[in-house]
């Protein structure tokens, strides 16, 4: 496209903008990415890229910009929209090179970027201290630009080449640098190399996907929604560097994670499996299927479940109404609305007689007998008698139970070791989330609050506002944003994301720039909303690294 950008770091940005007719080059076929940008050129670029920006002030006839000046119209439109301002003497200085600080805050000011008010953990942190988190040369930022610069950095708009931590605020902006800034501002995320974006959190893959899944075996399935006329999801498999390793376009659907080196895929409503290299090794032929686990996958053939091996060979004849994955060589199955367990030979080792049964977890499974829940061991012996209206499976050696409208935890002997009137989640890595006066904190295995209740969500009753600990960190919320804390309650990744998942294989999916909205989902006879839900709209998902690993 331009012969002088082939080895330039901003080439993807320049190409992206040029193919959308937002930037242009010179008659000699060059773009001149390292040439300084003048104030007039910047006015042209900003108006071209943000032509729909509303007018916020009257245009000014600058003394040094004649109506015959080549950029007169662009300067009038850019200044009336708040991208740039003139000088007190009513000059614009169109041929003056524009410093980086001014190009960055021009967009930040137009967007009215702000740090969410929920970020109360920084109430005692000065503006200069926050800027130093991003830039080693923060003291060089002019005072008038500090707040806007922080907001721009906090929204991933600041691109620094070659050192992401060095702003060089007073250096003249180049055409390549402005192209990168505009790509970030237009949210063409993933175009600018992540190692050139000013960030404070350990981003591994820049937010650029509509849907993500946890990493498994070094791979993750991600999606982007296609727009009209090709509605649907475009699914790919990426590695931990964000590189595409498998295009799932040939398939109608895929499961979220690889398991035992295989991933479920669907064609015309039938399920098969592909390898981590993308090779189809089990052709789509099953009505339903589970992921592989311990070299078996449950599959449905002629309305009955059996099991296959990784070659697709049926190992256990389809005969069950339901069938789960194998875990420790035991799988839960059902017949005639009763549940029991089989071994890897397909032999029933615990009778199919329970009203309900869960998979085994930490050597025990919960079962329902005469309307009450208890626990059995892998030999089918009842080790905790059925007595609970509600209970969870064991995690960290404890199981959450309902005790006369209270919550508690029992150990593997059935002894109540924690009892509380507050809502609690299950334990994970020695911590369980507890809700106290609409704020979330964490208790230890003795029931002691070790992280004070301080986290909260937009609607805590409709959506969990915390996630359990994984790899030493937990995602927690401060209103519309979330971050990660360690087991002592210290912020390890500061709250700035709209949503986040737990860590898996050293990476966690995070949503950037999504908006939480509350919308009606139920109406009475007069069409008045009576039920509501809080959901996340828009934004993009990427991945951050676990700084503890």
For the segment 87-130, what is each residue's pLDDT rounded down to a tens digit? 999 999 999 999 999 999 887 776 666 555 444 455 556 888 88
pLDDT at 228: 53
With contact defined as beta carbons under 8 Å apart, do 41 and 71 qualify?
Answer: yes
Across the range 330-340, mean pLDDT stands at 97
Q: Is residue 530 part of a domain?
A: no
At 120 the pLDDT is 47
Q: Evaluate whether residue 162 is within a structural domain.
A: yes
State yes or no: pLDDT of 444 exceeds 70.
Answer: yes
The predicted structure's pLDDT at residue 230: 55
Model pLDDT, residue 232: 62
Average pLDDT over residues 458-462: 57
In a domain, 211, yes or no: no
Residue 472 pLDDT more than 80? yes
Q: Is residue 194 domain-resident?
A: yes
Instruction: Judge whether 179 lies within some domain.
Output: yes
- pLDDT value at residue 461: 47
Confidence of residue 451 (pLDDT cuts 50, 70, 90): very high
Residue-wise pLDDT for 130-149, tens only, equals: 899 999 999 999 999 998 89
- Give the per-residue pLDDT at 57: 86
11-20, Cβ contacts within 8 angstroms, sequence gap of 24 or more: 12/191, 12/192, 13/176, 13/179, 13/180, 13/182, 13/183, 13/188, 13/191, 13/192, 14/176, 14/179, 16/183, 16/188, 16/191, 17/49, 17/179, 17/182, 17/183
| Confidence label for 56 from pLDDT (cuts 50, 70 and 90) | confident
pLDDT tens-place string over residues 236-270:
999 999 999 999 999 999 999 999 999 999 999 99
**pLDDT of 395 above 60:** yes
Asked whether residue 227 carries a pLDDT value surpassing 80, the answer given is no
Predicted pLDDT at 476: 93
The confidence score (pLDDT) of residue 63 equals 94
Phi, psi of 175 (to 5 degrees): -65, -35
513-539 pLDDT, tens digit per residue, is: 888 888 888 888 888 888 888 888 888
408, part of any domain: no
% of the chain at pLDDT higher than 90:
72
Q: Is the pLDDT of residue 457 over 90?
A: no
Average pLDDT of 144-163? 91
Count the domains in the chain: 1
CA distance 208 to 191: 9
- What pLDDT score does 141 carry? 96
Characterize 224-239 residue by residue with b for buried, 16 or more Cβ atoms within 10 angstroms of its Cβ, and e for exposed: eeeeeeeeeeebbbbe
Q: In the prediction, which pLDDT does 543 show?
A: 97
Residue 509 has a pLDDT of 97
Query: What pLDDT, on the 0 to 100 scale, is given for residue 496?
Result: 86
Range of the domain at 103: 11-205
Give the pLDDT of residue 502: 96
> Is there a domain that residue 439 lies in?
no
Across all residues in the chain, what is the average pLDDT?
A: 91
Q: How many CA atoms lie within 13 A of 368 on its CB side?
A: 12
Domain membership of residue 274 (yes or no) is no
User: To the nearest whole percent, how much of the chain has pLDDT over 70?
Assistant: 95
Which sign, positive or negative, has the C-alpha torsion 92, 96, 101, 106? positive
Cα angle at 361 between 356 and 363, to 5 degrees? 105
Res. 427: pLDDT tops 90: yes
């Amino acid at each position: 496209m331009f012969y002088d950008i082939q080895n330039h770091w901003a080439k993807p940005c320049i190409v992206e903008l040029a193919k959308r007719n937002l930037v242009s080059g010179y008659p000699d076929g060059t773009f001149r990415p390292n040439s300084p940008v003048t104030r007039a050129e910047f006015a042209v670029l900003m108006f071209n890229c943000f032509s729909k920006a509303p007018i916020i002030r009257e245009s000014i006839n600058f003394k040094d910009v004649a109506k015959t000046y080549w950029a007169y119209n662009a300067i009038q439109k850019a200044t009336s929209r708040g991208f740039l301002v003139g000088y007190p003497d009513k000059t614009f200085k169109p041929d003056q090179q524009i410093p980086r600080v001014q190009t960055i805050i021009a967009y930040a000011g137009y967007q009215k970027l702000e740090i969410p008010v929920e970020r109360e953990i920084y109430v005692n942190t000065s503006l200069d201290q926050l800027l130093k988190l991003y830039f080693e040369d923060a003291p060089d930022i002019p005072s008038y630009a500090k707040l806007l610069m922080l907001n721009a950095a906090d929204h991933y708009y600041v691109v620094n080449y070659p050192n992401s931590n060095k702003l060089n605020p007073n250096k003249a902006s180049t055409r390549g640098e402005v192209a990168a800034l505009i790509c970030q501002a237009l949210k063409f995320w993933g175009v600018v190399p992540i190692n050139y974006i000013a960030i404070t959190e350990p981003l591994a893959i820049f937010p650029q996907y509509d849907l993500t899944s946890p990493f498994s075996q070094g791979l993750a399935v991600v999606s982007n929604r296609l727009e009209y006329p090709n509605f649907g999801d475009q699914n790919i498999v990426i590695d931990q560097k964000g590189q595409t390793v498998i295009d799932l376009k040939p398939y109608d659907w895929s499961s979220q994670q690889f398991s035992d080196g295989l991933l479920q895929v669907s064609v015309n409503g039938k399920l098969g499996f592909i390898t981590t290299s993308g090779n189809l090794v089990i052709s789509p032929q099953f009505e339903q299927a589970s992921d592989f686990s311990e070299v078996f996958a449950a599959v449905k053939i002629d309305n009955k479940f059996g099991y296959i091996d990784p070659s697709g060979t049926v190992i256990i004849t389809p005969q069950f109404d339901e069938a789960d994955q194998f875990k420790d060589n035991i799988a839960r199955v059902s017949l005639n609305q009763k549940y029991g367990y089989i071994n890897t030979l397909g032999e029933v080792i615990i009778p199919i007689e329970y009203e309900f049964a869960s998979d085994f977890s930490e050597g025990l499974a919960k079962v329902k007998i005469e309307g009450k829940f208890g626990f059995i061991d892998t030999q089918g012996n009842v080790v905790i008698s059925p007595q609970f209206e509600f209970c969870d499976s064991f995690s960290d050696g404890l199981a959450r139970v309902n005790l006369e409208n209270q919550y508690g935890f029992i150990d593997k002997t059935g002894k109540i070791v924690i009892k509380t009137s507050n809502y609690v989640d299950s334990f994970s890595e020695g911590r369980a989330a507890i809700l106290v006066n609409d704020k979330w904190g964490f208790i230890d295995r003795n029931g002691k609050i070790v992280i004070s209740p301080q986290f909260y969500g937009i609607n805590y009753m409709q959506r969990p506002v915390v996630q359990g600990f994984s790899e030493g960190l937990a995602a927690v919320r401060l209103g519309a944003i979330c971050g990660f804390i360690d087991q002592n309650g210290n912020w390890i990744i500061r709250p700035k994301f709209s949503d986040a998942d737990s860590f898996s294989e050293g990476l966690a999916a995070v949503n950037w720039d999504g908006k939480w909205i509350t919308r009606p989902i139920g109406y009475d006879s007069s069409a008045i909303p009576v039920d509501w839900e809080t959901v996340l709209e828009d934004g993009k998902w990427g991945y951050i690294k676990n700084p503890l690993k």
